[in-house]
Amino acid sequence: MPTDVLDRELVHSGHVGCPGCGATIAMRFVLKALGEKTIMVLPACCWSVIAGPYPQSALKIPVLHAAFETGGATATGVRAALDMKGDTETTVLTWAGDGGTFDIGFQSLSGAVERDENFIYVCYDNEAYMNTGVQRSSSTPYGAWTTTTTGKDWKKLRKKNIVEALVAHRIPYAATASIAFPEDLLRKAQKAKNMKGSRFLHIYASCPTGWRIPSEMSIKIARMAVQTNIFPLYEVEEGLRYTINYRPKEYLVREYFRLQGRFKHLTEKDLDQIQQMVNEDWELLLRKAGEHV
Amino acid sequence: MIMNKYVNPDNLYIARSYLTTESNKTGSWRFLRPCYDEKTAPCSIACPAGEDIPRIEMMATQGLFKEAWEKILIENPFPSVCGRVCFHPCEGSCNRRDFDSAVAIHSLERFIADTAIRYGISPELEKKPSRKQRIAIVGAGTAGLAAAWFLSLLGYSCDVFEASSEVGGVLRWGIPLYRLPLSALRHDIKQITELGVAIFTGKKVSKEMLSELKKKYDAVFIGCGHSLGMPLSVPGENLSGVSEGLEFLRQIRDGKSPVCSGVTAIIGGGNTAVDVARSVVRLGGKALLLYRRRRQDMPALALEVEMALEEGVELEELVAPAVISEENGKILLTLQEMKVEGEECGRDRVIAATGKNRQVRVERILKAIGMQASESWQQADRTDNEILTLSHSVLDSRGREAVMVLGGDIVNKTKSVVDAVASGKQAALALDILFQEGIEAVVPKLQACLVGPGSSLSMEIFMGGERRLRNKHVVSYEEINTDYFRFSPRVTQPRLLKEERIQSFEEIDLKISAHMAMKEAERCFNCGLCNQCDNCFIFCPDTSVILGRDHQGRHINYDYCKGCGLCVVECPRNAMSLGEEKS
Ligand SMILES: Cc1ncc(C[n+]2csc(CCOP(=O)(O)OP(=O)(O)O)c2C)c(N)n1
Ligand code: SF4
Ligand SMILES: [Mg+2]
């Protein structure tokens, strides 16, 4: 990684992200990789607030605040406008939360990538609607507490596999990345930047406030999500070529769940079941990557 | 108010931000405060010479071998020797033991010293301006030479008087070449003489000469070691076939080949006993090692014992000599069998097993049961409470003549090379404090130069170096973020095969390559030290770690730092701390 990439800084201090916010770490990394010539489309999410109230901005690049469900469509328009001006150099980046991606913004995203619009879509995934107070989304994992899945009614449905949904569109590039693996993340963002067409990055971004974890643990937990296979690091080119970027250490999911308040109600039996679900997903991924033995 | 430079003069009817968020001082949210806070590594407090091991290994990782060598020299002038014969207590307390296995600190020390020899480099060390006091050093063993080294760095001129024809004491005359080649010893000594220390060999200091020295010098350091064997206290020990093991080793190191035909019995269980036994084997004899306790109780290094047995030394445990007599020109040794019963001083006690005696016929007996001072004035009078008794030296500043200092084996509890270095260092620092500030200042000032909460002194701290800023907290294994380290096998020290070993006195431990050394040094966690990995900068969610040219290489911008603590947790080596914010 050239040091000038790592050293450049496009996020200002003084933003109002929570202490230890994984989404701001993700933003710092992605903008380091993409550089100044980037224009951002920002549908409603925590980052709409972190980016600053008018007339302040936490970012050194132009940002277009957009409606919650319009990440894909607005980017399409921005790209078309730039192209008309003859600016093919500027990268158009949609930066959306999991709610804005998996749920309400899904049709807009699906439409844009089906047309192979020339832009990068980043979903920073904190696994719930955090900005409005921790409501569950289709990204909230099995077993989690949220303010809409409380007490005995913790979420008993699986997390949607958004990367596979994007892969099904046969887009040029779809990848997962994690704030705990900066080198891998920066490499993927730079790789995406140097490609054309629809590119999708799914970035795991811990949320100390919504997950009921201590702020200093947000990287540790993100790292464990990868180490336990809960969030495998991989990339898919042209919807076909899978590459798994990290060989996990066979850690047990139990270790990951134990550290987080949002999972504290789970019993040993629940954790065994979750372990099985994770193993199943991992085997499926290995098969797709042609690495199954 | 700064307008966005990209604002289009045509009105777009879109509100555009023109200020940054930097006017929000989010530092006011903070109730915990991270800071850079380098701490103490466990290995460095286990080292009697207080070497800055985590820093040395960090330098070696970066290929800064000369700097690493100088880092050792500031605390220990004998890296080439200690890299070979030290009992390396550092490795026993290495945090990496809880991860995979200890860092091979011993092999690395030797590698660093050998590299300095290979490139013929000279160290550049800070030397204090000259002082007027002159110091005489009696005995050029490890302690005396170390005292001369540290005193010279502190600006004193030193004259060393040595009875033998060459300096080095036990290192020169008592350790077999297969453990310590002459070139290795001479290289360390060369650094000492190049500092300007004057050495007079063949000068045995008598009681009379000592009174002369006391008049001519401001201080006299006595480090003559122990040269008189301890008595076995059994009948027949004065027979001509019974002699001192250390004397036997001395003859060999003097170029002679003492006769070793037949069986030689060696009495003792320390390193000298093992050295003697292995030397006997190399001279073509049979060695029978007799020890009154068991193998696991032997003070000799376990590896040395293991190699001795491989080479054909025979070990008999739980036997003590009872009577020695002569029979047809041979020695008849009656052995009392011992047995383990009860405990004393924290270890198993052995007592005579009544009625169990045995006899062996041997050619000769070599004693290696310990040594004592040869003259009474070389011993410390520990009953006199007007003299200052420290852990590794004794100071006597009464009277108007020179200050007398005793050091090395005659005062040290553990009689090892590295403890002798510690003794020379303690004596040098104590003398400097005494000359500059008086006797009352000695204990408190030495106290301030200890490495962490341990008892080893640091010359670097004494000289006001960077190390004095280090937190005394000893980093534990749990405080290392092991997610940033990978399992990696410890380097295996290459050695001569046993068949090759017994042929000659050739050095057994072979060199390791620079590649192997750097790989091994990289295994070190560098407990408590910052190696500029930049994790704090990389992971800060608030862009509040600012890279800069300051001493640390970066600093925290407390105007914005919210105190999330991520930098502290993600610091692999515990070089940061999180403290409560004082409002
Ligand atoms: C159409 C519409 N419905 C609801 C909202 C309210 N709203 C704003 S942000 C948000 C949640 C965003 O969740 P997510 O996309 O996961 O981002 P996060 O806040 O978790 O970072 C909601 C429900 C809105 N702005 N627009
Ligand atoms: S890992 Fe390095 S610094 Fe830590 S105890 Fe071992 S040798 Fe010392
Ligand atoms: Mg969300």
Beta-strand relationship, B371-372 and B388-389: unpaired
Same-domain status, B202 and B144: yes
- Secondary structure of residue A225 in the 3-state scheme: helix
Confirm whether A144 is domain-assigned: yes
Over residues B418-431, mean pLDDT? 98
* Beta carbons within 8 Å of A268's beta carbon, 6+ residues apart: none
Q: What CATH number is given to the structural domain containing B315?
A: 3.50.50.60
Which of B447, B481, B499 is a domain's end point?
B447
Confirm whether B15 is domain-assigned: no
Confirm whether B16 is domain-assigned: no
- Nearest residue to A14 (alpha-carbon basis) of B32, B536, B560, B562: B560
Q: How far apart are CA A60 and CA B5, in angstroms?
A: 12
Residues of A in contact with B543 (CB under 8 A): 9, 11-13, 28
Task: Give distance in angstroms: CA of B65 to centre of ligand 2.
Answer: 18
CB pairs under 8 A between A and B: 102
Q: How far apart are CA B167 and CA B186, in angstroms?
A: 9
Q: What CATH number is given to the structural domain containing B572?
A: 3.30.70.20
Q: Write out the residues of chain B at the interface with chain A, using a CB-CB cutoff of 8 A.
A: 6, 15-26, 29, 483, 534, 538-544, 547, 557, 559-560, 562-566, 568-570, 578
Point out the least confidently predicted range of A88-97, A105-114, B382-391, B560-569. Answer: B382-391
Look at A218 and B566 and tell me if their CB atoms are within 8 Å: yes
Atom of ligand 2 nearest to the CA of B523: 1
B569 with B481: CB under 8 angstroms? yes
Q: How is residue B348 annotated by DSSP?
A: E
Confirm whether B395 is domain-assigned: yes
Over residues A37-50, mean pLDDT? 98
Radius of gyration of chain A (CA): 18
Q: How far apart are CA B180 and CA B187, in angstroms?
A: 12
Q: How far apart are CA A257 and CA A271, in angstroms?
A: 8
Q: Which domain holds residue A208?
A: 3-288
Q: Which residue has the tokens 């169990």?
A: B356
Atom of ligand 1 nearest to the CA of A104: 1
Q: How far apart are CA B556 and CA B558, in angstroms?
A: 6
Cα distances (angstroms) measured from residue B532 to each of A227, B36, B165, B329, B346: 25, 11, 50, 71, 45
Look at A19 and B539 and tell me if their CB atoms are within 8 Å: no
Atom of ligand 1 nearest to the CA of A98: 16
- Kindly state the helix (H) or strand (E) to which residue B193 belongs, with its residue range: helix B182-194
Q: How far apart are CA B562 and CA A17, in angstroms?
A: 10
Look at A12 and B19 and tell me if their CB atoms are within 8 Å: no
pLDDT for res B382:
58
Confirm whether B8 is domain-assigned: no
Q: How many CA atoms lie within 13 A of B30 on its CB side?
A: 28
Look at B22 and A216 and tell me if their CB atoms are within 8 Å: no
Residues of A in contact with B553 (CB under 8 A): none
pLDDT for res B564:
98
Task: Give distance in angstroms: CA of A140 to centre of ligand 1.
Answer: 14
Over residues B561-579, mean pLDDT? 98
Same-domain status, B69 and B156: no
Same-domain status, B175 and B266: no
Q: How far apart are CA B142 and CA B544, in angstroms?
A: 51
- Nearest residue to B260 (alpha-carbon basis) of B507, B508, B502: B502
Q: Which domain holds residue B75?
A: 44-123+472-522
Its ipTM equals 0.97
User: Atom 6, ligand 2: which residue's CA is nearest?
Assistant: B94
Over residues A78-85, mean pLDDT? 97
User: Atom 8, ligand 1: which residue's CA is nearest?
Assistant: A44
Over residues B58-73, mean pLDDT? 97
pLDDT for res B11:
61
Ligand 1 site residues (CB inside 6 A) read: A 44-46, 68-69, 97-100, 126, 128-132, 137
Same-domain status, B381 and B435: yes
B152 with B62: CB under 8 angstroms? no
Q: How far is A19 from chain B (nearest CA, A)?
A: 5
Express each pLDDT in B131-166 by its tens digit. Answer: 999 999 999 999 999 999 999 999 999 999 999 999
Confirm whether A253 is domain-assigned: yes
Mutate to test the pocket of ligand 2, among B61, B470, B527 (most ligand atoms within 8 A of CB): B527
Confidence of residue B354 (pLDDT cuts 50, 70, 90): confident
- Amino acid identity of residue B57, one-letter, is E
Same-domain status, B235 and B354: yes
Cα nearest neighbour of B487 on chain A: A249
**φ and ψ at residue B342, rounded to 5 degrees:** 70, -165
Q: What CATH number is given to the structural domain containing B75?
A: 1.10.1060
Q: Which residue has the tokens 């003794």?
A: B423
E-strand stretches of B92-227? 134-138, 157-161, 198-200, 219-222
Point out the least confidently predicted range of A105-109, B235-239, B276-280. Answer: B235-239
Same-domain status, B574 and B514: no
Residues of B in contact with A220 (CB under 8 A): 483, 569-570
Give the count of domains, chain B. Answer: 4
Look at A13 and B544 and tell me if their CB atoms are within 8 Å: yes
Confirm whether A157 is domain-assigned: yes
**Portion of chain A with pLDDT greater than 70, in percent:** 98
B579 with B35: CB under 8 angstroms? yes
Q: How far apart are CA A192 and CA A190, in angstroms?
A: 5
Q: Is any Cβ of chain B less than 8 angstroms from the Cβ of A289?
A: no
Q: How far apart are CA B207 and CA A23, in angstroms?
A: 79
Express each pLDDT in B443-490 by its tens digit. Answer: 999 999 999 999 999 999 999 999 999 999 999 999 999 999 999 999
Confirm whether B215 is domain-assigned: yes
Confirm whether A88 is domain-assigned: yes
The residues pairing with B419 across neighbouring beta strands, listed in sequence order, are none
**φ and ψ at residue B393, rounded to 5 degrees:** -165, 160
pLDDT at A25 over 90: yes
Confirm whether B49 is domain-assigned: yes
Look at A17 and B541 and tell me if their CB atoms are within 8 Å: yes
User: In the numeric block, which tokens belong to residue B523?
Assistant: 């295994």
Same-domain status, B242 and B366: yes
Task: Give distance in angstroms: CA of B38 to centre of ligand 2.
Answer: 14
pLDDT for res B582:
85
Residue B265 has a CB neighbour count (10 Å cut-off) of 29
- Nearest residue to A99 (alpha-carbon basis) of A154, A148, A153, A38: A148
Q: How far is B456 from chain A (nearest CA, A)?
A: 35
Give the count of domains, chain A. Answer: 1
Same-domain status, B366 and B378: no
pLDDT for res B2:
45
- Secondary structure of residue A176 in the 3-state scheme: strand
**φ and ψ at residue A119, rounded to 5 degrees:** -160, 170
E-strand stretches of chain A? 38-43, 56-57, 63-66, 91-96, 119-125, 173-178, 198-204, 234-237, 241-244
Confidence of residue A160 (pLDDT cuts 50, 70, 90): very high
Mutate to test the pocket of ligand 1, among A42, A122, A130 (most ligand atoms within 8 A of CB): A130
Beta-strand relationship, B330-344 and B347-362: antiparallel
Confirm whether B289 is domain-assigned: yes
Residue ranges near ligand 3 (ion) with Cβ within 5 Å: A 97-98, 126, 130
Same-domain status, B198 and B292: no
Look at B557 and A13 and tell me if their CB atoms are within 8 Å: yes
**Portion of chain B with pLDDT greater than 90, in percent:** 85
Same-domain status, B247 and B365: yes
Same-domain status, B115 and B219: no
pLDDT for res A241:
97
**Model-level pTM?**
0.92
Look at A15 and B564 and tell me if their CB atoms are within 8 Å: no
Confirm whether A86 is domain-assigned: yes
Q: How far apart are CA B172 and CA B185, in angstroms?
A: 7
Mutate to test the pocket of ligand 1, among A46, A69, A148, A211 (most ligand atoms within 8 A of CB): A46
Q: What CATH number is given to the structural domain containing A180?
A: 3.40.50.970
Q: How is residue B470 annotated by DSSP?
A: S
**Highest mean pLDDT, choosing among A209-218, A244-253, B114-123, B342-351:** A209-218
Q: Is any Cβ of chain B less than 8 angstroms from the Cβ of A13?
A: yes
Which of A14, A17, A215 is closest, CB to CB, to B20? A14
Express each pLDDT in A174-228 by its tens digit. Answer: 999 999 999 999 999 999 999 999 999 999 999 999 999 999 999 999 999 999 9
Q: Is the peptide bond before A55 cis (omega within 30 degrees of 0)?
A: yes
Average confidence score pLDDT of chain B: 93
Q: Hey, of A3, A5, A9, A13, which one would you mutate to test binding to chain B, going by the most B CBs within 10 A of its CB?
A: A13
pLDDT at B550 over 80: no
Over residues B368-382, mean pLDDT? 72
* Beta carbons within 8 Å of B402's beta carbon, 6+ residues apart: B136, B213, B214, B215, B217, B218, B219, B220
Residues of B in contact with A57 (CB under 8 A): 17, 19-21
Over residues B326-351, mean pLDDT? 89
Same-domain status, B52 and B152: no
Which of B370, B400, B435 is a domain's end point?
B370
Average confidence score pLDDT of chain A: 96
Q: Is any Cβ of chain B less than 8 angstroms from the Cβ of A214?
A: yes
Q: Is any Cβ of chain B less than 8 angstroms from the Cβ of A141?
A: no
Express each pLDDT in A93-141 by its tens digit. Answer: 999 999 999 999 999 999 999 999 999 999 999 999 999 999 999 999 9
